[in-house]
Amino acid sequence: MKNNLQSKVDNFSQALSKFSERWEALKPKNIAFDDRQAALDAVTTIKERRLEFDALAASAKSIEHECNLFGLPQPVFDVMHTVDAEITGMQETWQLFEEFLQGLDVYTRDEWISVRGRMPAFAEFLDGWAAKLKNQATPTVVSMSIRSDLEKYQTALPLLRLPPPTPPWRPSVLPRLFFDTHRTSRSPITHLTMQSIPQVHPWRGVLRRPLGGAVRVDGTTTRH
């Protein structure tokens, strides 16, 4: 019986070693946060590895219990503590990113025109996240990416509040923001989503508005 238990310990050690190697190879590294799908895939990977690790941790406890019953020395699985700490740290970091995306999608998944009436709520959402990140003790790559997205949307907010542009779709009668987004996405301007807009312009300085007006980033307008 003791021989069988020792064999179980050895087999578990090999399985744990393989998991550790696979985790090292598959854990998210150098993710481009502007690639939303890649970022979401990273979140999924961490969740899947956590489930696998939790199953291994349960097996380890069972083996330790059996060793105690039969008077065998407690096995030492040092790598478990290292891997557990890494997965936990990444979970906490990426959970923040997932939470941000879920809240952002409430506004950005819909067509821009249909969301215009919710701009005050969207502004409140952006301000809330800005305050949350400001209070973060140690900035991470994820929080820096979120902050970058916040700045883009906050800068674009005055233009997002403008009335919908009307045909013809020419740069001379459209804010540059909408014209370039339309041209880049190849979607009708009336079908543009909020999500497509931040991929085009940093929105610095004064942008053109229909009928010869100009809209500053603070939302004020001027006439030529």
| pLDDT given at position 107 | 84
| Predicted pLDDT of residue 20 | 95
Of 63-77, 105-119, 152-166, highest mean pLDDT: 63-77
The per-residue pLDDT for 220 is 39
Does residue 128 have a pLDDT over 90? Answer: yes
Beta bridge partners of 193: 111
Does the pLDDT at position 114 exceed 90? no
- Chain segment 85-111, per-residue pLDDT in tens: 999 988 888 888 889 988 988 888 877
Confidence at residue 182, expressed as pLDDT on a 0 to 100 scale: 44
Which residue type is seen at 94?
Answer: W
pLDDT band at 163 (very low <50, low <70, confident <90, very high): low
Query: Is residue 52 over pLDDT 80?
Result: yes
Q: Mean of the pLDDT values across residues 133-142?
A: 82
Q: What is the pLDDT of residue 214?
A: 36
User: Quick one: 155 exposed, middle or buried, by C-beta within 10 A (0-12, 13-18, 19+)?
Assistant: middle
Q: How confident is the model at residue 51 (pLDDT cuts 50, 70, 90)?
A: very high
* 16 vs 204, more confident: 16
* Helix (H), strand (E) at residue 7: helix 2-26
Q: What percentage of the chain has pLDDT greater than the value 70?
A: 67
Q: What's this model's pTM, rounded to 2 decimal places?
A: 0.67
- Name the DSSP letter for residue 111: B
Structure tokens at 224: 């030529």
Strand arrangement of the beta sheet that strand 221-223 belongs to: 207-208, 213-215, 221-223
Q: Specify the pLDDT at position 217.
A: 34
Phi/psi of residue 71, nearest 5 degrees: 70, 25
Segments making up each domain of the chain, as ranges: 2-108, 112-224
Pairing of strands 213-215, 207-208: antiparallel
Instruction: With cut-offs at 50, 70 and 90, classify the pLDDT of residue 50.
Output: very high
Identify the pLDDT of residue 64: 92
Q: What is the mean pLDDT of the chain?
A: 76
Over 80: is that where the pLDDT of 54 sits?
yes
Q: What is the pLDDT of residue 3?
A: 75
